[in-house]
Amino acid sequence: MDRQIEVIKPKVIVTLGNYSSAYIFSKAELPFQSITQTHGKFHDITILGMEVIVFPTFHPAAALYSARYREQITNDFKLLRQKLAEKGIA
């Protein structure tokens, strides 16, 4: 994963779920508590020597188990689309 990030040099990383979010935060040496606390928020971090915007959200499979997560995922992605448009990335 680290090598892929180094090669791609992303401006934005969208993490899907607890595990991928915890991994990215650990690479940035930042505390991570849970996806329910961090989802839907933008985090400017330095990872592997690069400045990256990280946007955690729930894993899409969570929507299969709970309508509440489906709504939150939908709202998170609407927010992400808006932010990317503002930054001229999308």
Across 51-80, average pLDDT: 93
Class of domain 2-87: alpha beta
On the 0-12 / 13-18 / 19+ scale of CB atoms within 10 A, 59 is middle
Predicted confidence (pLDDT) per residue in 21-33, tens digit: 999 999 999 999 9
Across 27-47, average pLDDT: 94
Strands 43-47 and 50-57: antiparallel
pTM of the predicted structure, to 2 decimals: 0.91
Alpha-helix runs per DSSP H in the chain: 2-8, 18-27, 35-38, 62-65, 67-87
In angstroms, rounded to a whole number, what is the distance separating the alpha carbons of residues 35 and 24? 12
Residue 87 has a pLDDT of 84
> What are the boundaries of each domain within the chain?
2-87
Residue 3 has a pLDDT of 94
